[in-house]
Amino acid sequence: MNRDVKSDETLDVLGANRLKFIQPKTGYRFSIDSLLLWGFLRPARDQRWVDLGTGCGILAIALAKINGVKEAVGVEIQPELVELARRNARLNFVENHVSFVTGDIRDVSLLKTFASADGVCVNPPYYAPGSGRLNPDAQKAVARHEIKGTINDFIRAGSLLLSRGSVFDIILPVQRLQDALKILQETKLYPSRMRPVHSYGNTPATLVLIEAVKGKKSIFSLEPPVVVYKSKKIYTQEIQELMNLHSLKNFYIVKPP
């Protein structure tokens, strides 16, 4: 086992060693939602992106290592996850391109220090307080329920970080779509792309991916759906390619020094 991995942690590898992540065995662990969101993003190499609620840093690190963005910043309210994200950045040799900050996305003064980003991505807590079963694990509870910030809070934070023409990307449960569209409109984030996510081809969508442009309306595109499984426990070709990090045509792989 890698000497950097503790006894209560795992080392998870994506895409033939392209990305490696240390994660707690029992605490918060990233899910396929993060990969779905990453596959939806359209970053450019000269851009600066902010990942709100970064967790173990998977999106910020993928943006730096695979997409080669100029800078990626991850904001996370749980200090232990921030430290884990920093370890993961070092593990993937992107510590010079990625930074992680402990902070509350509702803190306007904090957000101002990251203003004028080219892109913001968010995989927010999905469940409103009082809905569903609150996980007894504190890390998982904060990641999944709106304890330290609502979906609306994350959208407002994203809007504050962006200048006109910059993009905001988010993944949401379909049940939260109406509320999200309302707050996007209020914060002058105008949807430009949307893609539904289905577990199977013959089942209703459960998630939706949205990209919005700050202060600028454009032609709206409803993209073909993402289907996760072709049969029980068997991923579709698109998801297999996503897990192997082949969803983008051009790769910029940061190699070890």
As a whole number of angstroms, the distance between CA 56 and CA 86 comes to: 8
Tens digits of residue pLDDT in 133-143: 544 444 443 44
Domain ranges of the chain: 32-243
* Residue 96 clears pLDDT 80, i.e. is over it: yes
Q: Mean pLDDT across the chain, nearest whole number?
A: 87
Contact 125, 53 (CB under 8 A): yes
Contacts of residue 114, defined as CB under 8 A and 6 or more positions apart, other chains included, come to 50, 73, 75, 161
- Average pLDDT of span 80-85: 96
**What pLDDT shows up at residue 148?**
56
As a whole number of angstroms, the distance between CA 208 and CA 213 comes to: 17
Contacts 24+ apart (CB under 8 A), 231-239: 239/32
- Average pLDDT of span 51-69: 95
Contact 28, 77 (CB under 8 A): no
Contact 54, 28 (CB under 8 A): no
* Residue 124 clears pLDDT 90, i.e. is over it: yes
Top pLDDT among 13 and 82 is at 82
In the three-class reduction of DSSP (H, G, I as helix; E, B as strand; rest coil), residue 142 is classed as helix
Tens digits of residue pLDDT in 155-186: 999 999 999 999 999 999 999 999 999 999 99
Q: Which fold has domain 32-243?
A: Rossmann fold (3.40.50)
As a whole number of angstroms, the distance between CA 129 and CA 42 comes to: 32
**What pLDDT shows up at residue 206?**
95
- Average pLDDT of span 9-38: 88
* Residue 120 clears pLDDT 50, i.e. is over it: yes
Tens digits of residue pLDDT in 216-244: 999 999 999 999 999 988 999 999 988 88
**What pLDDT shows up at residue 26?**
86
The DSSP line for 224-253 is PPEE-EEETTEE-HHHHHHHTT-SSSS--P
Six-digit token string for 48 = 């600066």
Six-digit token string for 94 = 């992107």
* Residue 189 clears pLDDT 60, i.e. is over it: yes
pTM: 0.89
To the nearest 10 degrees (0 to 180), the angle between helices 58-65 and 79-91 is 20
How many residues comprise the chain?
257
